[in-house]
Amino acid sequence: MLLQKIKTKIKSFITNSYSNKGNKELLTLFSHFSDCIILGSSPSINELELTNLSKNTMVITMGNFYEHPAINAIKPSIHVFAASHPPITEKVLVNWWSRCNEVLPLGTPVLVEKRDKEIATRVFAERKVFTYSYGGDFPIDFTKPIISPWSVTIVGLQLAIYVKVPEIYLMGINHDWQCIKPYLHFYNHNAPSLEYYLKNEGVEISYEKQQQPFPKERLYREYELYQQYETLKLYAEKRHQKIYNGDENSDFDVFKHVNYTI
């Protein structure tokens, strides 16, 4: 009996007990949408017309996407950030998010990982801030920890699945830079962006320094990332949700390519 109590106590320490019932509001805000587009920052996004999105479309943007020149016309439904991690310092994070707060439409809430909540509520003081936690598993439930992502897109995709949007379209998502192409985005790394603020603090961006062939560690991570996409695809299908690649200029082939009509 004593041994069982000890085991239970140890398990309670290593299990993520995060609970955020307030995130049920995400269902209220977004479950009525007929479809969702998740916008990434690959160079292919420059080829897409995004200024006339339907009001019935949920729009999820992530990371540096707020630098898109049409951000005010796009009017994201929510903007997602992955958890901060080295080499991102607190100063870099504050500068990066302050820039985001300046240009992201004020009506757009942000979703951040719980470790960054204090900084987020300070920087985004005049907008709604939602939090989530890593360390979870299926079923996807944002009132509990979610699956720890290998890319911020995995967070956005889990959100779209959680709020039960029937059709989900990925655009500007292309992970080929991980293995076969240089580290590029639609924006200039020497203009305001995470890369810009890292460089201002003298932090070297390892991805930019990599030469072909890329290190095998990147291939391992790429494999893990694609496995997450494949698993989420199957999970969504069981919930009668469909995920597509709506970007004709993206080679990302986990999801079926379709021509998304705006």
Residue 62 has pLDDT above 90, yes or no: yes
State residue 181's pLDDT score: 64
Residue 224 has pLDDT above 60, yes or no: yes
Q: What is the pLDDT of residue 214?
A: 55
Residue that the structure tokens 């049409």 belong to: 70
CA-CA distances (angstroms) from residue 188 to 46, 67, 152, 244? 12, 10, 20, 28
Residue the block writes with tokens 């801030």: 129
Structure tokens at 244: 């597509």
Q: What is the mean pLDDT of residues 161-172?
A: 96
**Cα R_g (the chain), whole angstroms:** 19
What's the pLDDT at 184?
75
Of 42-51, 70-79, 96-105, 200-209, the one with minimum mean pLDDT is: 200-209
Gap between the Cα atoms of 241 and 159, Å rounded: 13
What does pTM read for this prediction?
0.89
Long-range residue pairs from 20-25, CB within 8 A, at least 24 positions apart, any chain: 20/114, 20/131, 20/132, 20/133, 20/142, 20/143, 20/144, 21/143, 22/130, 22/143, 23/130, 23/131, 23/132, 23/142, 23/143, 24/143, 25/130
Q: Does the pLDDT value for residue 206 go beyond 70?
A: no
What distances in angstroms separate CA 6 from CA 14, 15, 17, 18, one per listed residue? 13, 14, 18, 21
| pLDDT tens track for 227-262 | 999 999 999 999 999 999 998 888 888 999 998 877
What is the predicted pLDDT for the residue at 6?
43
Residue with tokens 């080295």: 86
How far apart CA 102 and CA 233 sit, in angstroms, is 35
Provide the percentage of residues in the chain whose pLDDT is more than 70. Answer: 85
Query: What integer best gives the mean pLDDT of the chain?
Result: 88
The Cα–Cα gap between 117 and 146 comes to 16
